[in-house]
Amino acid sequence: MNNLIIDAANDKIFFMIIADNKSYTSEFINNRENFDKLTTLIVKFLENHHLSLKNLSNIFVNQGPGKFSGIRASIATAKALSLVNKIDLYGFNSEQIFDENYAEIIDLFNKGVLIKNLIKPYY
């Protein structure tokens, strides 16, 4: 199972792939230029790790609280990628991440805490 985590609620845009006991991360400056090419950044990030959108099982996106523009851009992009590629989409909150331990999101998913396709932005 390949999972993509997107978090643009803070000072950096953060991507993480968690797949079969392996994880890969990448960070970008949280600015308008990167929001405009967010999909391209995601696709290149996946390609750098020999994956494509079709290889993903789930997308997890931070719905806030945090920076308005980052949350709005990442949720819109995650929803579009989810719909077009038929990938399950889940939202999580900034408070559910402790010490940047994004693997906790997978634990919350496995426990059934995260609800599929229920994305409510918290600005």
- Residue pLDDT, tens place only, 9-56: 999 999 999 988 899 999 999 999 999 999 999 999 999 999 999 999
Q: What is the DSSP letter of 64?
A: -
Query: How many of the other CB atoms lie within 10 Å of CB of 18?
Result: 20
Q: What is the pLDDT of residue 20?
A: 81
The pLDDT of residue 98? 87
C-alpha pair distances (Å), 28 with each of 33, 60, 70, 82, 106: 10, 18, 12, 22, 22
pTM for the model stands at: 0.93
For the chain, the maximum distance between any two Cα atoms, rounded to a whole number of angstroms, is: 36
| Residue 123 clears pLDDT 80, i.e. is over it | no
pLDDT tens for 86-120 read: 999 999 999 999 888 998 999 999 999 999 988 88
The predicted pLDDT at position 9 comes to 94
pLDDT at residue 118, rounded to an integer: 83
Instruction: Specify the pLDDT at position 121.
Output: 87
